[in-house]
Amino acid sequence: MAILRFEALKKLHERNAVTVSSPSPKVSDFFGENVFGTEPMRASLAPAVFKKVTSAIKNHEKIDEVTADAVASAAKAWAMNKGATHFTHWFQPMTGGTAEKHDSFFDALAGIEKFKGSELVQQEPDASSFPSGGIRSTFEARGYTAWDPTSPMFLYGKTLCIPTIFVSYTGETLDAKSPLLKALKSVDVSATRVCQLFDKDIQHVIASLGPEQEYFVVDEALFTARPDLVMAGRTVFGHAPARGQQMEDHYFGSIPSRVYDFMKDFEFECWKLGIPVRTRHNEVAPSQFEVAPLFEEVNVANDHNQLMMDVMGRVAERHNLKVLFHEKPFAGLNGSGKHNNWSLITDTGINLYAPSSSARDNLLFLTFFVNTIKAVHQYADLLRASIATAANDFRLGANEAPPAIMSVFIGAQMTAVLDEMEKKGNVKIEKGDNMYMKLGIDQIPEIILDATDRNRTSPFAFTGNKFEFRAVGASDNCATPMAVLNLIVAEQLDQFYDAVSREMEKGAEKRLAIVTVLRKYIKESKDIRFEGDGYSDEWVKEAARRGMKNIKNMPRAIEAYLSKESIKLFEKHGVMSHKELEARNEIRLEAYIKRVQIEARVIGDLAMNHIIPTAIAYQNKLIQNANGLKGLGVDNKAVIQTIKEISGHIDTIKNGVRQMIEERKRINKITDTHKRAFAYCDDIKEKYFDEIRDAVDKLELLVDDEDWPLAKYREMLFLR
């Protein structure tokens, strides 16, 4: 291993820059050129067919067979004209990534290229080999992918990719996209009904998303020299370098040249695919970076994020780099998140979370603002469950990411507004020449636009015209937290509409009925609001006093999915059935068990087969040195002390690994998945991982650098 490490370092120093050229000086010349979007469809479809397709997409209607045939024919011609030879249904199974099975356009029997509407609309991948949580047995292989026309087809390489959902033969959802689409439909219906209390012209409400993607970049050779990165996606060992992120000089600093070339390259590829990436910068930790897109409709934004991650990985290979999406690839450094910037926008162009100078629009703003806070308060446990993964457990609450306690930050200005509204008083907050948000209601104060700060410690923060769900992990699929967020907001808006209707039935004027209900919600949801430092011990104590949960591990967090309240919520809105919820929790727990198993095996393998032999070999050198010093009559106490220290760490590692192996054998006999997952969390991960790591990391400081088998943090993070 030490040889591999130094060979990797040699390769690193011999790297040549990869030339990156823009397809055109103007991005607008090639943006979306590999997307079969609105304009290619308009150019290739008959006007009547194009109108049918766009109307079906806008109104969530089914596309008939004749129209599907026309779309398939046009898509095939467009793709083949660009060199495509195959097509695939591109879907998102419960594996954490995407999946695809390529079929050729060429029909050997007919001797021609064919692509029918039936092939566009539906395909049949093998469902037995994907996680199903017991819904499908191994011998029950049939499953279906079905075209999602709301997300455009795209050309990836020489393959036409068709975004689809994935369901079992018996109709249960087996993917991340299906529940998201159902939740988006639900929030559209619920939000539109509330909007029509203010404006009857509003016919649809669209949820938008801008996911900021954080990631690490390391040299490919150094990545390969770390078996733990290869197998587990994170370093299970590694002593902190003398210099980490404490100088605070990496954030927004000059982008390293190799990474800059890589960024330009993957941005070009993303733009061709219609992914609106815009921002790039260094993040806080060394070798950590971020890319952020413009906002899009949630479903499309999520598809684009999944595709972008794949593009980044492939482009990195051209630059001899490796992208790490794991939430915590390096201990002691900031982890990586995927901040979900979310908003609701009407089909008339109103951002429902943006204050304005219109009194009516501002009451509409407050309606959605307060109801969102109320939804997070009511379903905080479910929102926490939506971002629960084995990898995110390493990041949440680590004083560099939002805590596992769900809270909402709204800023001092909006806090004052809600407090005053609750008291039914009036206040005028003046600040220079800022534009005021006038409501035209005596009980509600004027609000200064954009008067909110940013709180990096809050898991759910209002940032002026949107909410930022910061707790989502970097490797996660946005579909899961977005499905939950839109669902709970939909339910809360339904509750609000019914409450306002009851007030109006009592004789209250509509506007005052709305204010009455909002005041009640503000009071009921105050506990979820927190403006301070989410990293502090004081907040943990204060949250407990408020009755808020601090669930620090994934197996316990996801139990919220199966509460009576959650099951009722998902079934009421038709997002998922009780059976589907149980199946997904089974899938999540099985994935957690397997991930901890893999990490435990990696720890055992590296410790016993690489670290301990290296330490013993070095110890033998020291013994020879001690004996030599003794023969010369020179004091050898310092050497003897080092030998004893090494022996102590070796014993700790050996005992820890052996006990961990025995514990795994015991746990693997547990048949109940929930109990087995809890045992892997408490009796393997929490009990042994840190103990073994601490001993290994101390050995790293004692063993000769030339003998140490693993690429070190200082090499992976600072050598480019």
Gap between the Cα atoms of 311 and 325, Å rounded:
13
Query: What are the phi and psi torsion angles at 517 (to 5°)?
Result: -70, -40
Contact yes or no for 374/521 (Cβ under 8 A): yes
Q: Residue 438 above 60 pLDDT?
A: no
pLDDT tens, position by position, 650-687: 999 999 999 999 999 999 999 999 999 999 999 999 99
What is the Cα–Cα distance from 306 to 474, expressed in whole angstroms?
11
Write down the pLDDT at residue 268. 97
Extended strands (E) in 119-204: 122-123, 143-147, 153-156, 159-168
Greater confidence (193 vs 400) lies with: 193
Cα distance between the two ends of the chain: 21
Higher pLDDT, 52 or 126: 52
| 461 pLDDT higher than 80 | yes
Query: 6: Cβ–Cβ under 8 A, 6 or more apart, which residues?
Result: none
Residue 131 has pLDDT above 90, yes or no: no
Distance between CA atoms of 302 and 278, rounded to whole angstroms? Answer: 16
Average pLDDT over residues 314-340: 96
Position 400 pLDDT exceeds 90: no
Torsion (CA) 195, 199, 201, 205 in degrees, nearest 10? -20
Residue 557 pLDDT > 50, yes or no? yes
pLDDT at 76: 96
Pick the closest to residue 392 from 236, 555, 178 (CA basis).
Answer: 555
User: 77-102 pLDDT, tens per residue?
Assistant: 999 999 999 999 999 999 989 999 99
Beta bridge partners of 206: 345
Tokens of residue 253, six digits: 């600093």
Q: Residues 7-32: pLDDT tens digits?
A: 999 999 999 889 999 999 999 999 99
* Segment 262-265 long-range contacts (CB within 8 Å, at least 24 positions apart): 262/18, 262/217, 262/315, 262/316, 262/319, 262/321, 263/289, 263/291, 264/20, 264/22, 265/18, 265/20, 265/315, 265/318, 265/319
> In this predicted structure, what is the pLDDT of residue 440?
46
Cα distances (Å, whole numbers) of residue 423 to 18, 302, 417, 426, 520: 63, 40, 10, 9, 10
Strand runs labelled E in 41-142: 86-90, 102-104, 106-107, 112-113, 122-123
Banded pLDDT at 170 (limits 50, 70, 90) = confident
Q: What is the pTM of this model?
A: 0.93
Average pLDDT over residues 385-403: 89
Strand-pair category, 205-219 with 338-346: antiparallel
The counts of H helices and E strands in the chain are 24, 20
Average pLDDT, the chain: 91
Residue 189 has pLDDT above 60, yes or no: yes
- Write out pLDDT tens, residues 522-540: 999 999 999 998 888 899 9
pLDDT of residue 426: 38
Q: What is the structure's pLDDT at 359?
A: 62
Q: Which residues of 507-541 are buried (b: 16+ CB within 10 A; e: fewer)?
A: ebeebebbbbbbbebbeebebbbbbeebbeeebbe
Burial code (b: 16+ CB inside 10 Å, e: under 16) for 285-322 equals bbbbbbbbbebbbbbbbbbbbbbbbebbbebbeebbbb
**Are the C-beta atoms of residues 452 and 382 closer than 8 Å to each other?**
no
pLDDT score recorded for residue 365: 93
CA–CA gap between residue 299 and residue 440 (Å, rounded): 36
Question: Are residues 186 and 155 in contact, defined by beta-carbon separation less than 8 angstroms?
Answer: no
Confidence label for 138 from pLDDT (cuts 50, 70 and 90): low
Residue 227, pLDDT above cutoff 60: yes
Task: Tell me the C-alpha distance between 109 and 244, whole Å.
Answer: 62
Can you give the pLDDT at residue 141? 58
Q: Report residue 698's pLDDT band, with 50, 70 and 90 as the boundaries.
A: very high
DSSP helix/strand/coil, 289 = strand
**Which domains can be identified in the chain, with CATH numbers?**
31-175 (3.10.20.70), 184-576 (3.30.590.10), 586-718 (1.20.120.1560)
Is residue 429 over pLDDT 50?
A: no
Question: Is residue 436 over pLDDT 70?
Answer: no
Please give the sequence-ordered ranges of beta strands (E in DSSP) within 575-626, or none if there are none.
none
- For residue 136, the model assigns a pLDDT of 62
Give 555's pLDDT tier (boundaries 50, 70, 90): very high
Rounded Cα distance, 97 and 94, in Å: 8
Both tokens assigned to 702 = 């004692």
* Contact indicator for 399, 498 with CB cutoff of 8 Å: no
CA 515, CA 521: separation in Å to the nearest integer?
10
Structure confidence at residue 68 (pLDDT): 93
CA separation (Å) from 558 to 170, 552, 582? 25, 11, 11
Res. 357 pLDDT band, cuts 50 70 90: low
- Quick one: DSSP state of residue 234? S
Residue 211 contacts residue 305 (beta carbons within 8 Å): yes
Counting other chains too, the contacts that 636-641 makes at CB distance below 8 Å and 24 or more residues apart are none
Q: Is the pLDDT of residue 244 over 90?
A: no
- pLDDT above 50 for 371: yes
Place of tokens 């009511």: 378
Band the pLDDT of 439: cuts 50, 70, 90.
very low
